[in-house]
Each structure stands twice: as structure tokens, then as C-alpha cells.
Amino acid sequence: MEVSAIIVAAGRGRRLGGKRPKAFVRVNGLPLVEYSLRTFQSAGGIGEIVLVKPAGYSVPHAPLFSKFAKLRAIVPGGAERMDSVRAGLAAVSPGAKLVLVHDAARPMVSSRDIVAVIAAARRYGAAVLAEPAADTIKRVEKGFIRATLNRSYLWRAQTPQGFRRDIIERAYSRAVRAATDDSSLAEAVGARVAIVPATRPNPKITTKHDLETAACLLGKRSRA
């Protein structure tokens, strides 16, 4: 089992304001998380999937296991994203050499990009799917611009993010602060993280407007 994928679906999605956790809100008739599960199920090179759900939230285990043959385990997450990734790492098969971490809030990731992250992680030890910053980025303090950053050096990190298993486990064993992505923890233990340019839009779902946009884009893809 060389490559394991952890799909983090433990967020509550309070900004969406729905009754269900964000990853289990229905989009075009399917729970949001199933779009990621479908893509990782079909992606070449993925040996198994570990799904991290919200603690205390009831997930229909049997239907998911029957629909997704690569799904190895469904485990409860923690209070913070780091806690949830740790829970996923603990459920990965002993034989996995590479681990990909993906946020279920990014349902539009492509199989092609997943395979590219696997290849880069295998070659360099750590890799992140990302896109170049298109906007002009300002550094702001107390409501005023302090600097305009050179966007030619700036990239918007996405998921999946892939790592040699020893790197991601070492990163989490030494983590002493909260992090919004896994690559920053890998950087903190000296890993050199490669950038993998995304080949198609892979936005994160945060607000109701994002959800509406995702429904439109996912609907177009399903009809293509």
C-alpha cells in the first residue's frame, strides 16, 4: 500500500450556517465529500483512502465502504485541523510510504493533479498543489497598507499536499503551533517542498456563495 490519501472532512462549516457539517452538505444531490472520494477513488496510484469525519457526527459507513473500494477507514477528527490530520495519520496502513492530505472543502480537484502531486512527493519528499497569485497582494497593519508584495513569488497553496511518510509524521510529532496547512509543518522540520501547478480550478468552499459556485461548476463537469 504505497500511497495513502487522508481526506479531511471534520470541519463544522459554521460560516455556511447549515445544519450539517460542511463536507456533508448536499451539492447537486451528493454530500460534498463524495466528490473528493470519487476523484481519489479513480486516481491512479492511490492505494487507500482514510476519511476523517467530525467527531460525534453520524456518517453512513456501510454505503460509503460499498461505493468506494479504496476507503480503508472512517475516523473521528478533533477540535482543530491538526488534530484531525493526526487522527488520519494514525489510521494509515503500516506499509504506506507516501501520504497525501486533502481537504474535502476542495471538491473540484482533478485526478491528473493528484497523480502529479504523487510524482512530485515521490521525487522530492514533499509537494503541494498550488496556483500562482493573480491578485496584487498587500501587507496590511491596523487598516493601512505597509507593503505591496511581489506576486511573481507568491502562490496560493491548495490540496492535496503529499509527503514521504517519515516527513509528515516527523512534522506532526514536532508541531508546537496550529497550522492552516501541512506543508508549513514540513517546512518547519527542514523539508524542501515542491510546487505542483494546478491544471484546473480547485477552490476552497467556505461561504454559501462558494457553495453555489461549486454546484454550478460541478454540474457542468458532470454533464461534460
pLDDT score for 214: 83
pLDDT score for 191: 96
Residue closest to 188 by CA, chosen among 163, 207, 212: 163
Question: 51 near 7, Cβ under 8 Å?
Answer: yes
pLDDT score for 155: 97
Scan for cell 460560516, then name that residue: 15
Rounded Cα distance, 76 and 64, in Å: 15
Superfamily of the domain at 3-223: Spore Coat Polysaccharide Biosynthesis Protein SpsA; Chain A (3.90.550.10)
Q: Indicate the domain borders of the chain.
A: 3-223
pLDDT score for 75: 97
Instruction: Tell me the whole-structure pTM to 2 decimals.
Output: 0.94
> Residues 19-65: pLDDT tens digits?
788 899 999 989 999 999 999 999 999 999 999 999 999 988 889 99
Q: How many residues does the chain have?
A: 224
pLDDT score for 194: 98
pLDDT score for 3: 98
Which residues of the chain are modeled with pLDDT < 70?
1, 13, 15-18, 222-224
